[in-house]
Structure 1
Amino acid sequence: MTLHLAEAPAAPGRTRSFHTMGRRVLELLYQHRVLSTHQMHVLLTAPDKRPARPVYLRRQLGELCEAGLVNRVRAQGGGDGPGRIQSQPYLWFLTDFGAESVEEAGELPTRPYRVTPDSVAGARQAHTLAVNDVGVAFVEHARRLGHECGPLDWTPEVANRIRDGQRRFEDDHVISDSVLNYVHIERGQRTMLTFFVEVDRATMTSARLAAKLAAYGRLYEYVPQSPDRARRTPDTTRPAWMYSYPVFPRVLVVLDAAPPREGQVDRRPQRLAARTEDLYTRTAADVRLQRLKERLSVGVTTLQQLQQHGPCAPIFTPLLRGTPAARPAPTDLYLTT
C-alpha cells in the first residue's frame, strides 16, 4: 500500500509515492506532535516481529523531509560544544504542508495546533517527550502481554470543561497531558480502560500538581447549566464527562525527573518518593476529593517503573485511600485505587 502526496509547494508539478511506513510516520507526528527517532521506531515495529535497525525508518524520514512534509531539530541537553550537541537525537515534527496532507486524507480527527521549530525547541520539549514515553511504555507492554494499545491510542493535551463561564481557558478547563486508551484481555474477557495521564517532571510545586488533581474532582461533578431551567431533563442534569467517556477515566500521575549530571549521585528515587508522599498528604486534605474517593481512582508511579515493569505490575501508589500514616501498598492499575 502506498501513499501519494504532493511535493512541497515549491515543486507543485511533482509527486512522491511513500510506502505504508511513510503514511504511518505522518499520522504519528500529526497525533503526537513531536517524536524522537527512537520513539517512532518502537511504535512502528510490528508486534509479531523482532525490532530491526531503524535504517529503513531513517531513509523514509529523509525522503519525507526532502518532500517538505516533515522537519527536525536536535534534542536539548547536549551541553556545551558542537560535539555534545551533535550527539543528541533528532526530534521530528510535521511542517504545515505535512499536516495539511494528513488532514486531506481524513483518517484522523483534525487538530488545529501547528508545530514550529521554535515550539519544539521550547521549554516544554522534555515534558512532551516524557508524555510520549508514557504512551510508548503502554504500547510496548501491551504487545508483550497480548493486550491492545496502539501507537495512536493516546491523544496529547485534551481539555475538559470544569465550570461555566468565560474566564481564562485554563481556569475553566482541566487540560490532561494525554488521554490514553488501553484494552486488557484475559481469558477472552476484554476490559476497556481510559486514563487521564499527568506527567510531572518536578518542574512545578507539589501544591500546583495537587490542585490539578483537585480539578478532576470538579470535572467529575460538573453539570453544565441549562439555558432553560424550567425544561430540564435527565440529560441536562448529567455530568459533562458522561458525553465523552463511558466511565470516568482513572487519573494516572507519572513522576519523572532530569537525570543527574556526570559525577553526581542519582537521588531521583528519594525525590520522587517524597513527591508521592506530598501528593498523598495534599489530596487527603482536599474535601472534594475525599468526598469522591470511592468514585475516583488516582494512582502515582514513576516513568522508570512504568518502562521497566509495565502497567500490570504493582507499581501504582493509590491516592485517596487510607491515611498518610497507613498508606496502602502499591497495587496494579486494574484494582480500584
Structure 2
Amino acid sequence: MTAAETGTSYVPGPAEPLPHQLLSALAQHRMATTSQLHALLRPGAARQTVSAPLNKLRRTGLVDYTVLPQSNRTRAWYLTGEGARLTRDLPALRGRPPYPISSATAASLKTPHTLTAVRTHLAFAADARRLGHEHGPWDWTPEVAHPIGEGERLVADAVMHYTAVDGEHRRKLRAFVEVDRTTMSSERLAVKLIDYARLFHYEAQPVGRRKPPPTGPAWLRWYPVFPRVIFVLTGASRTRLNHRMNDLQAMVTHHPLVAALAHEVPLGAAILEDLEHHTPSGSVWTPLTGGQPHPWTAL
C-alpha cells in the first residue's frame, strides 16, 4: 500500500452516510464552518457535496448556524438540542457528553476559540493524508478533563491520537494540545504547564478502607504513555508570540514540578500559521526545554 493510499483510507468513505458524518463531526468538534467540514470529511470533492446536506439537516432541525462577522457571510455550524440528542449514542462519540448550543448568540461566544481549534486539527489531518499517516476526524477529542487532585481538574483543549507510518513500522503518538489565541496573559498560559505536571504526578486516593492502594499515576487509566504537551499559538504578532514561547520555556526552567515533567515528557510550542504554511511535520516546533526547532514528532 502506498503512502497516498494509506492517507486516503483515513478520509471518511461512503460506507457511513455523509449526513451522519456531519452530525458526528459537529458533535465531536462543537462547531465548524462549511469549509472546515469540507476539508475534514470530503477533501477534494465539490463544496456543494457538503453544503447541500448541511442545509437539509438545518431544515430538519438537527443543526443550525451563526454567521461570522466580517467574513462574507461565512457560516459556523453547530448541533441543536435535537441534533445533540440524536448523536449521543454514535460509536465515534461513545462516552462523550453532548454539548448542544441553545442559540446563535450562544454560538457566537464559543466561535473564535472553537474554530481556531478546528483549524489546528485540520493542519494535522491534511499533513497526515499527505504523509500517509493515520489521523482522521475522530482522532481529535476537544475539551478532555482529568482530575489533578484537591477537587480540581485540568481541561485540555484537545487530545490528539496520531499514528506515524513508515513502511511496516507504526509509531503511535498522543498529544495534549493547548490552543492559545493570546486572549489570556502569558503568565496564565505558562501556568497550564503546572497543571500538566500535577496530572503527571497525580495518584487518585482510594475511598474506603477496603479499597486497594493506587497502582500508579491516575493518567495510566487512559494512556499507556503520558501524551506530549504541545502549545499552538496565534492571534498576535510573531514577536509577541515568541515572547509567550519564552515564558513557557522559563516555566520549565524555574518550576521544579514542571522541570520534572519536561525530563519525562516532550513539550513544545509552535505558531498556528506556521503549521498551516509549513505543515506540522516541519521543523516549526520550539522545544520548551530549549534548542533548535523540530518536527512535533521529534520533540
Query: Could you tell me the TM-score, scaled by structure 2's length?
Result: 0.89
Note the 1:1-337 alignment, pairs <5 A.
Answer: 20-45=17-42, 51-76=44-69, 78=70, 87-109=72-94, 110-116=96-102, 117-122=104-109, 124-165=110-151, 172-228=152-208, 232-233=212-213, 236-257=214-235, 268-319=237-288, 321=289, 327-335=290-298, 337=299
The number of aligned residues is 282
Distance change (3 Å), C-alpha of 1:102 and 1:228: closer
Unaligned runs of 5+ in 2: 1-15
> Which protein has greater RCO, CA pairs closer than 8 Å, 6+ apart?
2
Q: CA RMSD in A?
A: 1.8
User: How far is 1:173 from its partner?
Assistant: 0.7
**Letter in structure 1 aligned against 2:63:** V
User: How far is 1:106 from its partner?
Assistant: 4.9
Instruction: Quote the sequence identity (%).
Output: 36
User: How far is 1:107 from its partner?
Assistant: 4.7
Distance change (3 Å), C-alpha of 1:201 and 1:229: same
Deviations 1:207-242 (A, max 9, x none): 101111111000000001123568644xx1310000
Query: Could you tell me the TM-score, scaled by structure 1's length?
Result: 0.79
**In structure 1, how many angstroms separate the alpha carbons of the residues matched to 2:113 and 2:165?**
30
Instruction: Name the structure 1 match of 2:5.
Output: none
Residue pair 1:255, 1:302 contacting (<8 A) in 2 also? yes
Deviations 1:236-262 (A, max 9, x none): 13100000111000101000116xxxx
**Letter in structure 1 aligned against 2:126:** E
Instruction: Name the structure 1 match of 2:10.
Output: none
Residue pair 1:155, 1:178 contacting (<8 A) in 2 also? yes
**In structure 1, how many angstroms separate the alpha carbons of the residues matched to 2:156 and 2:90?**
27
**Letter in structure 1 aligned against 2:39:** V
Distance change (3 Å), C-alpha of 1:145 and 1:215: same
Unaligned runs of 5+ in 1: 1-18, 79-84, 166-171, 259-267, 322-326
Deviations 1:278-331 (A, max 9, x none): 221233111111133220221000111111222221111111x2xxxxx30111
**Letter in structure 1 aligned against 2:294:** T
Larger Rg: 1
Deviations 1:108-137 (A, max 9, x none): 224142222232111x42111111111111
User: How far is 1:104 from its partner?
Assistant: 4.8
Report the 3-state secondary structure (helix = DSSP H, G, I; strand = E; otherwise coil) of the residue aligned with 1:238. coil
**In structure 2, how many angstroms separate the alpha carbons of the residues matched to 1:275 and 1:226?**
39
Residue pair 1:311, 1:332 contacting (<8 A) in 2 also? yes
Which one has the bigger helix percentage?
2
Report the 3-state secondary structure (helix = DSSP H, G, I; strand = E; otherwise coil) of the residue aligned with 1:147. coil
**Letter in structure 2 aligned against 1:38:** S
Deviations 1:4-25 (A, max 9, x none): xxxxxxxxxxxxxxx8111110
